[in-house]
Structure 1
Amino acid sequence: MNRTARLVPPILAVLVAGLLVAGLLYGDFPLAPSSVLRALAGTADPRASFFVLDVRLPRLLLAVTTGAAFGLAGAIVQSLVRNPLASPDVLGTTSGAAAAAVSALLLFGWTGPAVSGAALAGGLVTTGVVHLLATAQGRNLVLIGVAIAALLAGGVSWLLTVGEVTEAQAALVWLTGTLDGRSWAELVPVLWFTIPAALAVVPFARPLTLLGHGDDLARSLGVAVGRTRVFLTIAATVLASAATAAVGPVAFVALTAPALARLLTGSREPSLAASALLGSALLMLADLLARSLSSPAEIPVGVVTGIVGGAYLLFLLVGRGMR
């Protein structure tokens, strides 16, 4: 790794910290830095403490956690598939997680950790089906994923149509991707899944890089290709599914963060640390924009990431002439 690539993660960590501070200070009820510090120390007035500790801090930490999970999952998938257009969104993982979560919400009335568990199971099952079909039929993994995602989207639309109106409206906002109203109750379950999955991936950074250059090269350098692929696929699925359960299938973060990581580090393969930090930064920045563009109303964060990510994808396909 060159010197520039080594400097990127620390710089991104500072950016994430800066966005965290900005998120604590900015909002419909602006706070001075001294008020935020007193709230964190437990000595502020009740109103400031409420906005900092109950409203903004859990929301921001959830953005950091889920953004990092999406970015890390995207980096893993793109390296395994060796395709910059691949991501958990494209391969159907987030669609499976979303379909399972919406089913749990609308059909069974589940909440909290139960929805997270359903989303995790849905993401794992969908990813397994996509890989099995691609292997059995000898088809492109991305195309199979797009087809499965389309089928699941149709199922979700049906559930929204037949569901109770109030619950269907809430589920529709969630499906867009939102951080509005998120609290410690949503943060804790996602940490149960994402922290172990992220830590488990760390020792596989080098094998993942080698797999990005081809299975034959990786095998010749001692990588157990089959087992490593299965393990990393499961880890990426857990990360993306848990993040989806918490904030909804936020569009394009998993696709865009690894691409920006490659651009910043000048590497062919996305840096795991840079991808995770960029995922956090992108989601936090999108959340700040979502809160400010139509204040006092709020745009779902998935709308912002969808616009930015869609523009990036169009540039990738048209501007660079990708075939």
Structure 2
Amino acid sequence: MKWPLVSILVPCFNHELYIEESLLSVLEQDYDNFELIVVNDGSTDASAEKIEALRQVHGFQFYQQENQGVSAALNNALSHARGDLVVTHDSDDVMLAGRIRRQVSYMQEHPEVGLLGAKVIYIDSQGRPLKHKFASHAPVQRWSFDELLADAYAVGGPVAMYRREAIDRVGGYDPSIKVQDFQMTLRIAKAGYQVHILPDRVTLYRRHETNISKTAYKSQLIYDLKVIEAYRDNPAYDAGRLAIINKALKESVVADKPFARGLFASLPVHRWNRVTWKRFRHFMFKYRKPKGAQ
């Protein structure tokens, strides 16, 4: 039996509106040396039924578990994966044509890379493109560990291709960190692998009201601060902590002003950067209308 080079892992939780389009975008790639592994993470909607209907036609692997979070679902998928390269794909996003072939080619040409990212095109809940600017002829970005820590930069699941040996070397995903991309990015870079970002747009990233960045920024703040504690002695630690707090401020300055006020108070003003001051201006002069307001 020929083993696939690429394992594509898709954790799913309550994405019945998007899961069919998401999986078909994987199955219709112009690269066929891959296996698709889907894990339903205790969905309470019709996600499992839609996945099973597709599985009966296309024959991919499908596993179910009680709701344990994305990290646990990815570990479950990894336990069944055989590929030397691993792709993570969110169940509400759409993989663009040629994505797997392009990233596989780059990984084969650059064995020093343990984690390869790329860019996305943002769409709304209905699949309509949102406004965005594309840099023309942008170069491949190469991130060091210190740069990743200082910017709190995470190679997101919707664009990531990992070398399986790198995932295994750092021990897989930590189930206690349910927002997992940042920790995995840092661990792989710290282990000595290079992290590169292609300028290619490889995924339609869906923005809607249930995105973690909108609904769980408080828990993401806790997880991200926990992740960087392992690197407290690194000179980039303080910059990383500020970057993490700035991320939480992005939503909280309009959604939860008391919470945002506490975050501002936790930062000495002389350590604020341009992004912090931008968040503060939003805090002072913007507000979010209550649902149903005219």
Q: TM-score, normalized by length of structure 2?
A: 0.23
TM-score by length of 1: 0.21
Give the number of the structure with larger relative contact order, counting CA–CA contacts within 8 Å between residues 6 or more apart: 1
Higher relative helix content: 1
Higher strand fraction: Structure 1 or Structure 2? 2
